[in-house]
């Protein structure tokens, strides 16, 4: 998902379509009186298809279009009756959009409050609530925060990834939401892209192997209605990882690669962009799919006519729904249809006819003059004028209703809090710690520097040694993440201090005196970012209210000057020097600097459990991770991927030393 999560609350929202004939069609009672037999759609003993057909036949056009509409929580929080009046089918939390206090109980109470408003509609159709649980339920303070996907790709451990999906589902649903906007099954082919860490890797085969996370989220067939499962969403369909780098955009304030154009042949697109969706749909039965902001331009056609994915009927309806027999529903990304050509009416028409079923149209902030309140009357007019057939509306709504029936929301619409006490539990964090340990990739180990001996004195330095906000990165508490964000867990320094038996000295910039015969550990890397602002050469976000007003660093894929100096200082004065790179992608290690380093580790973005890093540093667990992406010598080599004709990286895809 692409969420722009302004925390400023819109002071008032229009109660759109609340009056006149439309309100009458929404509110006419037809449900059975108390003691009467249930209507077919209310009978859980009937097949889902029969229940869907019965309910669909009872719905007015207004109720159908309401089901196709998703608002943001800030849009309805002050007045949940907007859900009732407009028969809204879904609500979401964007990144950083949370209740106060940000606790599991407050989340569950909030979702239930909105659900009660949905149940007050004429037919009592429940809401489905969506959230970006992309590495755990990251919006929730206290949830287990797992490594981002790039680290999970390094584990090459599908069973572990399935277990992580299950824990994520349990913690998400126990706090209210029943739908996760995850996983991202993109194949990242240019590390300059700010969403590289959301990809499991550069190989379609690796990405496909990690799709066991869908089974973890949804369970096997027939388990969606369990209290520890959620609907999954494969994203971003398709080709978000293949966009071409735009040199002209770099440094201008635009995004040089995010939301760009795939300039590839049909054969390449099928191999790199579409391939992961085949098992996601056919084997793992993913319940929803989210289109990409990007466009595709078939180079072998020579037409030079990029088509935005949200309007790509050939791929959404033709390939995904018809050829792959996808039975779930398609949810648009954050206000994404507004990037299509033409006025808003043309944008809605193009996306609905392309096959988008539900529309993420938040208002959420004063700088967005309209959202779902404009979508509903616009689509209503398009149907009334015969420009969108009722059959297309019925198909969309049937898909949405099927998911709600499968989730058991008609029988149990309110939050089942059975597992709420397990959120952030010791057992869950132990799995996260295992994932951290397995994700560490040992790139250099001169004279068997690692594992370290616990009795050694240790000198720890670097910007990312003791910063859990940098460890957890984007999509954690806030959309872009933040160095100032604090979540329960251990930093890498915490892990080292617990594992070491000798003295531990910490100095971020290596300015404190280094003890004689100490071993050095320098933890360097990136500061948090998410889509757009994470692009190399992209804009600097001068002020982010989610990070206490701290200016964000422009992303470069280079180790910072301060961290380079810390490496030089520590490596020159310790008996051995280990450098850990905490980042969402490879960073460039200059040859002169590399020669000073005894051991080099790709630590990725480990999440909340820094103890997992210490586990491999001290030999409690072996290094087993393998590179999920190619590690370049210089940024000029980007994009560089396994299989390229000219392939001379610093470390190849799949490389990783072992200490077994």
Question: What is the average pLDDT across 200-226?
Answer: 97
* 390 and 484 together in one domain: no
Do both 404 and 466 map to the same domain?
Answer: no
* pLDDT tens-place string over residues 326-382: 999 999 999 999 999 999 999 999 999 999 999 999 998 778 889 999 999 999 999
pLDDT of the residue at 1: 72
Whether pTM exceeds 0.85 = yes
- Whole-number percent of the chain with pLDDT over 70: 93
Residue ranges of E strands in 279-433: 288-291, 295-298, 307-308, 329-330, 359-360
Going by their DSSP bridges, the two strands 295-298 and 261-264 should be labelled as parallel
| Count of helices and strands (H, E) across the chain | 22, 17
Is 552 part of any domain?
Answer: yes
pLDDT at 18: 37
**First-residue to last-residue Cα distance in the chain:** 39
Under a CB-based contact definition with an 8 Å cutoff, are residues 538 and 555 in contact? yes
pLDDT over 90 for what percent of the chain?
A: 88
Distance, CA of 337 to CA of 46 (rounded, Å) = 37
Q: Are residues 499 and 575 in the same domain?
A: yes
Residue 289, phi then psi, degrees to nearest 5: -135, 135
Say if 315 falls within a structural domain. no
Which residues span the domain enclosing 34? 17-140+346-414
**Do 388 and 444 share a domain, yes or no?**
no
Residues 351 and 461 in one domain: no
Helix (H, G, I), strand (E, B) or coil at 279: helix
Domain assignment present for residue 282? The answer is no
Regarding whether 458 and 398 lie in a shared domain, the answer is: no
| Number of structural domains found in the chain | 2
Q: Is residue 182 part of a domain?
A: no
Segment 377-430, tens digit of pLDDT: 999 999 999 999 999 999 999 999 999 999 999 999 999 999 999 999 999 999
pLDDT, averaged across the chain: 93
In a domain, 215, yes or no: no
Same domain, 437 and 464: yes
User: How does residue 32 score in pLDDT terms, banded at 50, 70 and 90?
Assistant: low
Mean pLDDT (whole number) for 506-527: 98
For position 251, what pLDDT does the model report? 84
- What pLDDT does residue 24 have? 34
Active-site residue list: 333, 531
Same domain for 396 and 490, yes or no, is no
427 φ, ψ to 5°? -65, -40
Q: Which of 414, 443, 470 is at the close of a domain?
A: 414
Q: Can you read off the two tokens belonging to residue 196?
A: 């590289």
Does some domain include residue 511?
A: yes
Query: With 50 as the cut, is the pLDDT of residue 50 above it?
Result: yes
Residues 393, 468 share a domain = no
In a domain, 381, yes or no: yes
Which pLDDT does position 489 carry in this prediction? 97
Residue 5, pLDDT above cutoff 50: no
CATH no. for residue 123? 3.20.20.300
- Mean pLDDT for the stretch of residues 543-571: 86
Strands (DSSP E) contained in 373-518 are 441-445, 458-461, 504-506
Band of residue 35 on the pLDDT scale cut at 50, 70, 90:
low
Residues 622 and 495 placed together within one structural domain of the fold: yes
Is position 373 within any domain?
Answer: yes
Q: Are residues 408 and 535 in the same domain?
A: no
What would the mean pLDDT of 162-175 be, rounded to a whole number? Answer: 98
Q: List Cα–Cα distances, 544 to 7, 220, 303, 469, 470, in angstroms.
A: 11, 40, 41, 14, 15
Rounded average pLDDT over 502-510:
97
Whether residue 443 sits in one domain with residue 383:
no
pLDDT of residue 301: 77
Q: Which residues pair with 70 in a beta bridge?
A: 90, 360
Identify the CATH number of the domain in which residue 568 sits.
3.40.50.1700
Torsion angle defined by CA atoms of residues 401, 402, 407 and 408, in that order, rounded to the nearest 10 degrees: 80
Q: For residues 501 and 620, what is the distance between their CA atoms, to the nearest angstrom? A: 14
Q: Check residue 208 and give its pLDDT.
A: 98
Q: What are the pLDDT digits (tens) for 443-460? A: 999 999 999 999 999 999
């Amino acid at each position: 998902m692409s969420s722009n999560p302004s925390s400023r609350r819109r002071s008032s929202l229009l109660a759109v379509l609340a009056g006149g004939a439309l309100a009458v069609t929404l509110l006419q009672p037809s449900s059975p009186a108390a003691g009467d037999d249930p209507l077919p759609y209310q009978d859980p003993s009937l097949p889902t298809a029969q229940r869907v057909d019965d309910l669909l036949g009872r719905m007015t056009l207004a109720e159908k279009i309401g089901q196709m509409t998703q608002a943001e929580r800030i849009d309805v929080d002050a007045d949940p009756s907007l859900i009732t009046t407009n028969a809204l089918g879904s609500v979401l939390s964007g990144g950083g959009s949370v209740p106060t206090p940000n606790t599991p109980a407050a989340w569950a109470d909030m979702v239930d409050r909105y659900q009660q408003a949905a149940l007050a509609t004429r037919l009592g159709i429940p809401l489905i609530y969506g959230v970006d649980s992309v590495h755990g339920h990251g919006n929730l303070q206290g949830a287990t925060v797992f490594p981002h996907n790039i680290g999970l790709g390094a584990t090459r451990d599908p069973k572990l990834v399935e277990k992580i999906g299950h824990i994520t589902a349990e913690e998400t649903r126990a706090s209210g939401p029943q739908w996760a906007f995850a996983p991202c099954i993109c194949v990242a082919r240019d590390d300059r892209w700010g969403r590289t860490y959301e990809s499991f890797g550069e190989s379609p085969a690796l990405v496909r192997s990690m799709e066991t996370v869908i089974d973890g989220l949804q369970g096997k067939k027939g388990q969606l209605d369990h209290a520890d499962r959620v609907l999954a969403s494969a994203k971003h369909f398709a080709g978000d990882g293949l966009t071409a780098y735009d040199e002209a955009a770099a440094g201008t304030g635009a995004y040089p690669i995010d939301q760009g154009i795939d300039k590839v042949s049909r054969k390449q697109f099928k191999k790199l962009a579409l391939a992961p969706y085949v098992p996601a749909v056919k084997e793992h039965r993913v319940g929803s799919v989210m289109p990409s902001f990007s466009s595709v331009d078939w180079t072998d056609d020579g037409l030079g006519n990029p088509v935005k994915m949200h309007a790509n009927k050939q791929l959404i309806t033709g390939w995904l729904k018809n050829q792959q027999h996808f039975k779930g529903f398609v949810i648009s990304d954050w206000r994404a249809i507004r990037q299509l050509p033409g006025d808003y009416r043309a944008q809605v028409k193009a996306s609905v006819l392309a096959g988008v079923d539900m529309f993420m149209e938040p208002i959420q902030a004063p700088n967005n003059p309209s959202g779902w309140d404009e979508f509903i009357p616009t689509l209503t007019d398009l149907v009334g004028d015969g420009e969108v057939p009722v059959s297309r509306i019925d198909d969309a709504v049937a898909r949405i209703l099927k998911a709600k029936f499968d989730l058991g929301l008609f029988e149990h619409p309110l939050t089942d809090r059975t597992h709420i006490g397990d959120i952030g539990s010791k057992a869950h964090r132990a799995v996260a710690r295992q994932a951290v340990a397995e994700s560490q990739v040992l790139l250099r180990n001169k004279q068997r520097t690692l594992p370290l001996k616990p009795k050694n004195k240790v000198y720890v330095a670097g910007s990312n040694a003791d910063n859990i906000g940098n460890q957890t990165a984007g999509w954690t508490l806030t959309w872009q993440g933040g160095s100032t964000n604090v979540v329960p867990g251990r930093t890498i320094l915490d892990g080292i201090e617990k594992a070491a038996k000798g003295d531990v000295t910490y100095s971020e910039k290596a300015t404190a005196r280094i003890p004689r015969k100490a071993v050095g550990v320098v933890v360097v890397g990136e500061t948090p970012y998410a889509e757009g602002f994470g692009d190399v050469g992209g804009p600097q976000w001068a002020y982010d209210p989610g990070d206490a007003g701290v200016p964000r660093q422009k992303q470069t894929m280079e180790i910072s000057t301060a961290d380079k100096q810390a490496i030089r200082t520590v490596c020159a004065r310790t008996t051995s020097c280990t450098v850990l790179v905490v980042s969402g992608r490879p960073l460039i290690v200059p040859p002169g600097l590399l020669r000073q380093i005894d051991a080099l580790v790709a630590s990725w973005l480990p999440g909340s459990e820094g103890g997992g890093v210490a586990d491999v540093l001290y030999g409690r667990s072996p290094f087993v991770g393998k590179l999920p992406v190619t590690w370049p010598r210089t940024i000029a080599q980007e994009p560089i991927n396994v299989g390229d004709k000219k392939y001379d990286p610093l470390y190849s895809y799949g490389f990783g030393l072992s200490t077994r």
